[in-house]
Structures are given as C-alpha cells and as structure tokens.
Amino acid sequence: MEHIYSKWYHPYEPAKAYSKRVAYFSMEFGIDQSFNIYSGGLGFLAGSHMRSGFELKQNMIGIGMLWKYGYYDQARNEDQTLKTEFNEKHFNFLEDTGIEVEIKLHDNPHVKVRAYVLKPEIFGTVPMYFLTTDVDGNDHLSRTITNHLYDKNQVTRVSQSIVLGIGGAKVVEALGGAETYHLNEGHALPAFYYLRDRGVSKHQMVFTTHTPEKAGNEERDAWHLNRCGFFGRQLSNEELEKEMVNGGMINYTVSALRMSKKANGVSKLHAKVANAMWKDYSGISEIIPITNAQNQKFWQDEIIKEAWISKNRKAYKERKLALKQELFKEVKKQTGKVFDTNVLTFVWARRFAAYKRADLLLHDFDRFKRLITNSKYPVQIIWAGKPYPYDYGAIDVFNHLVHQCKNEPNLAVLIGYEIDLSKRLKCGSDIWLNTPRITREASGTSGMTAAMNGSVNVSTNDGWIPEFEKDGENCFVLPPLDHNLPTWDQDKIDTNNLYNILEQNVIPTYYDNPDKWQDIVFKAMDDVIPDFTTQRMADEYYKKLF
C-alpha cells in the first residue's frame, strides 16, 4: 500500500485563503522539547510557524534535516564550566515515507537521501519531512553529513546545504511539487538553482533573510561550490561568473535575493537594515518586513492567559509565584541555591553570541556588586543559553559568568537551554533582559513569549522592540545611541543607561508600586497578542510573500 505521506497530503481541507501549495525549507525547527534538532531563534521561529500553519489549515509542508546528534547537549565540567556533549538522538515518532532520492555530492554521484515524516497529529504542525543521509548503501562519509547541525567542517556544511536544498527539492517533487518554494534563511540555496533548471519560475521562489551578522550570510568560493555539486549540475565558467560576487564568491543571501520574486526581513527595522546592506548588488528582489512572532497556544501558560483575559490580578499573582517556584526548583537542582519567589528575578536567556552581550551588567562591576547586594531592593539573576560549540569567545563569556556566580547566593547560570527550560524561564521570571547592540538583532523573539507570560522586557530598542515598545507602559527601553560608535563606547553608554533604568525605574516600581507593575504586565500582554503571534505572521506570509 502506498504510504499516505508519500504524496502531498494534509489531514484537513486547506482553508481557502491558504490553498496555495507551499514548501518551507529550514535548516532547523524548534517544535517540541522531545525533538531537539535546533540551535536557537531561527528554529523556534520556524517551529512556531509550522504550528500556526496547522492551526490555520494552511496548504504548507516543512522540509528540514534529521540531525542524528542534534545541535549538542549542554553539560558541565567538574568546575561547573560548559561541557559540550554529542549524544545520538532517537525520534521514534517519525515515520519512514519510503521516499528516497539521489543527489551528487563532490565526486560521488549517488548519495541517497531518505525522507521521514512528522505527522500533524504528533505535535500539531503541518506535515513535515526530515532528510537523512544515514542510509544503507551510502559510504561512511556520506552517512555522517546529517550528524551535526552546523557542522564545524566547512565541506560538510556545504554538503548539508546541498542535501537540504537539492535533496529537499527532489522530495517535494516526489510529493507532487509545490507552487511556492520558501527558503527560511540561505542554507537551502541549492534548491533555487536546481528548481530554476527544472523550469520553476522566479515567481514561485521566495526568501526570508534573518540576520545582519556576517557569519549568518554565508559566502563561499564559487569554484569550490561548483566542484561540490552545489548548483545541481556542473556550471560552465561563463554561467559561474554570472553568479559570482565579491571577487569569485557566491554569497548565499545575494543569490537567494536575485532568484526570488520577493523577500522579507524579520522586523521593520531589520528590513531597513537589510535593504541598506544589499542595495549595491544588482538584480536583487524587494525586501519587505514581516515581523517574526511566536505561537501563543504553545508558549503562553493557560492560567496566566485566563488571569490576563479577566484582568484578575490576584489569580495572576498566585500563578506567577507558582511558576517562579517551578523555575527555582531547576535553579536548586543545578546549583544548590535557594531562590526566593518574592524577590525580583531577572533572566538573560538566548543564544550566546557576542553582539547579544550576555555580560553587559558586569561591564560596570561596582554597580553590579551594588545591584546584587542591595538589601532594600533585592534581585536574583539567572543566565542561560547555548554558545555555538566552537565559538570559544562565547564559551569564555559563559564560563566567566559561571565563575562570577559561584559564590553569590542570588546568581545562577543554567545549562540545558532548550524549549522546556526556555518556557520555564519565561514563565518564572519578572524581567526579561535583552541587550543586543542596536541594529544587530534582526528580530529577537524570546521577549515576545516572555511578555505573554508576564515577564517584562528591559531592552535596547532593537529588532521587534521598536514596533512594540511604549516605554514605562509595557516595557522599559534603553535610550537610543549612535550604532556607528565603536563597540566599546556603545557598551559603556548602554551599561550606564541600563543601570540608570534599573535603579531609578524598574526595581522601585516592582517593590514600591506593585499596582503599576501589574498594569505594565497586562499592558504588555495586550500589546504582544495578537500582533506578535504566529497566527498573524503565518497569515502575512501567505498574503504578502507567497
């Protein structure tokens, strides 16, 4: 019997507004804690999108990668510093579709790629297909391509893009083809080259750019990519030269922008930044803003939601204290420290990248010491997040925080920052600290789900925040600065401003004016829902991009 998911299939009749067949390619998806194949925000965003696609009955499928060892597991060395572990994952809820395609990689013309399906009833997503090369008949090297998300070996990284792009496009063809092919970031770029050769028009290709960071916009040697099979066939010198930029390079973002009918940035500010970044390249598509969002049904605590809808302050407070208690059990388990539910609790939790400045509070160490030892206005601070396992600068910051927190009873650094812990931190914190250097955070969605659960954003005015913020009413925002200043100066000014806001506004409001604090909490929920939910976002993708 033919497998039901070996052709384009949805368990529902697609809604009229969303009937176009869309294939959504992403290197990572954060859907559920038990399916840990993501590294951070890009995955959380894509996972929420797939959930809302299902809720809205969209005719969309997801195409991703089945990472045998996931991203990595956070553990600790003997001195509590970060240890990265790679453990094999088991996802028995996936089913083999029976679809197997072949791609050419380097000098091997017959690398097998197999597709496993995540059915909608498992986690409430649109049907999703996950690709693996860990298939009988592949040589050892080919079988390892889908081992590690963002493998440190650059040749493997190129192979991963070819598997997701060309392997993914062939799987979509086997399912009956799509009307629109959407690349969530440039990793799956080979799909566009392959599809273009197959007669798929520019009108059917769209692209989302996610980051102004150089490392996030991959650029590689054109000759090398041609040898690897990146373009789906061997391009002639003349053809290759047409694709080159910056002296013989292929920039994944530039190529995707040139091949798309339309592209989007992930906040209004990011669309401006992205248009300015890429404007000097000829033939690129328009970049419109579709601001990132998160799935309310998945992320918002049900009792918090009921208290917010009925504006029941007492019910909210009781639930918040219970959620803090839950979070503090994890703090106690990992660090042996006993946190107090009545104390104002800050959380800084996201991917550890230099521009996000995990340690900004420590840049003025005297004020930091005063902050954490103030008996009139006590605070507790928790840090969590995953550095890239080979970003030794970021790991150093993580470990520095571990050492600074060790002997302080009200400071903690937690490991295991994945969906479950992320949810717990958002539900159990009072303050969500967001400290990226201005213009560097394309969107930053963690603050949205924090606000849904009553954690008040204290943030630089970057990413999605300018579209949300009413300073002092629904969050607290650092004053603007000139982002062209040297980073040292920016950090100094932002540190000073952050402390001024905390000392003069945030902390006194929490302790001395709890009614005002509660107003801010509810106002943030009013303003984040529905504007920053993926119901709105998934709808906009169909209307504005697809």
* CA 216-222-224 angle, 5° bins: 100
276 and 310 co-located in one domain = no
150 and 45 co-located in one domain = yes
224 and 359 co-located in one domain = no
218 and 310 co-located in one domain = no
pLDDT single digits (tens) 439-450? 999 899 999 999
281 and 336 co-located in one domain = no
The helix (H) or strand (E) run that includes residue 96 is strand 95-105
Q: Is 79 exposed, middle or buried (0-12, 13-18, 19+ CB in 10 A)?
A: exposed
What pLDDT score does 1 carry? 40
Confidence class of residue 2 from pLDDT cuts 50, 70 and 90?
Answer: low
339 and 456 co-located in one domain = yes
Q: At what angle do helices 313-335 and 514-528 cross, to 10 degrees?
A: 90
pLDDT single digits (tens) 9-20? 999 999 999 999
When the pLDDT of each residue in the chain is averaged and rounded to a whole number, the result is 97
Q: Phi and psi for 494 in degrees, rounded to 5?
A: -65, -40
Distance CA 305, CA 453 (A): 8
Share of the chain above pLDDT 90, in %: 97
Distance CA 46, CA 311 (A): 31
Distance CA 116, CA 295 (A): 24
- Is residue 24 within 8 A of residue 60, CB to CB? The reply is yes
In terms of DSSP H, where are the helices of 383-513? 392-405, 419-428, 446-452, 465-468, 487-501, 507-512
Q: Is 289 exposed, middle or buried (0-12, 13-18, 19+ CB in 10 A)?
A: buried
Q: Phi and psi for 435 in degrees, rounded to 5?
A: -125, 35
- Is residue 269 within 8 A of residue 466, CB to CB? The reply is yes
pLDDT single digits (tens) 481-539? 999 999 999 999 999 999 999 999 999 999 999 999 999 999 999 999 999 999 999 99
Query: Which of 194, 258, 195, 260 lies closest to 229 in space, CA to CA?
Result: 194
- Looking at the predicted structure, is the pLDDT value of residue 309 above 60? yes
Distance CA 111, CA 101 (A): 8
- Looking at the predicted structure, is the pLDDT value of residue 541 above 80? yes
Residue 199 lies inside a defined structural domain of this protein? yes
Residue 520 lies inside a defined structural domain of this protein? yes
Number of domains forming the structure of the chain: 2
Distance CA 117, CA 253 (A): 28
276 and 303 co-located in one domain = no
- Looking at the predicted structure, is the pLDDT value of residue 7 above 50? yes
Residue 418 lies inside a defined structural domain of this protein? yes
Residue 105 lies inside a defined structural domain of this protein? yes
What tokens appear for 44 in the block? 């959380």
Residues 6+ apart with CB under 8 A from 211: 185, 217, 442
275 and 307 co-located in one domain = no
Distance CA 498, CA 508 (A): 14
pLDDT single digits (tens) 448-485? 999 999 999 999 999 999 999 999 999 999 999 999 99
pLDDT single digits (tens) 179-230? 999 999 999 999 999 999 999 999 999 999 998 887 779 999 999 999 999 9
What pLDDT score does 216 carry? 79
Residue 358 lies inside a defined structural domain of this protein? yes
What pLDDT score does 293 carry? 96
Q: What is the CATH number of the domain that holds 144?
A: 3.40.50.2000
The CA distances from residue 69 to 19, 37, 410, 492, in Å, are 36, 8, 34, 40
pLDDT single digits (tens) 30-86? 999 999 999 988 999 999 999 999 999 999 999 999 999 999 999 999 999 999 999
What tokens appear for 363 in the block? 């840049």
220 and 319 co-located in one domain = no
Residue 1 lies inside a defined structural domain of this protein? no
What pLDDT score does 363 carry? 97
Give residue 533's region: left, alpha or beta (phi > 0; psi -120 to 50). Answer: beta
274 and 369 co-located in one domain = no
Residue 228 lies inside a defined structural domain of this protein? yes
244 and 367 co-located in one domain = no
What's the full length of the chain, in residues? 546
Residues 6+ apart with CB under 8 A from 377: 344, 507, 508, 511
Range of the domain at 320: 296-530
Q: Collapsing DSSP states into helix, strand and coil, what is residue 173? A: helix
- Looking at the predicted structure, is the pLDDT value of residue 156 above 60? yes
- Is residue 116 within 8 A of residue 129, CB to CB? The reply is yes
Residue 15 lies inside a defined structural domain of this protein? no
Query: Which of 417, 522, 332 lies closest to 40 in space, CA to CA?
Result: 417
Distance CA 174, CA 301 (A): 40
Distance CA 37, CA 14 (A): 28
382 and 331 co-located in one domain = yes
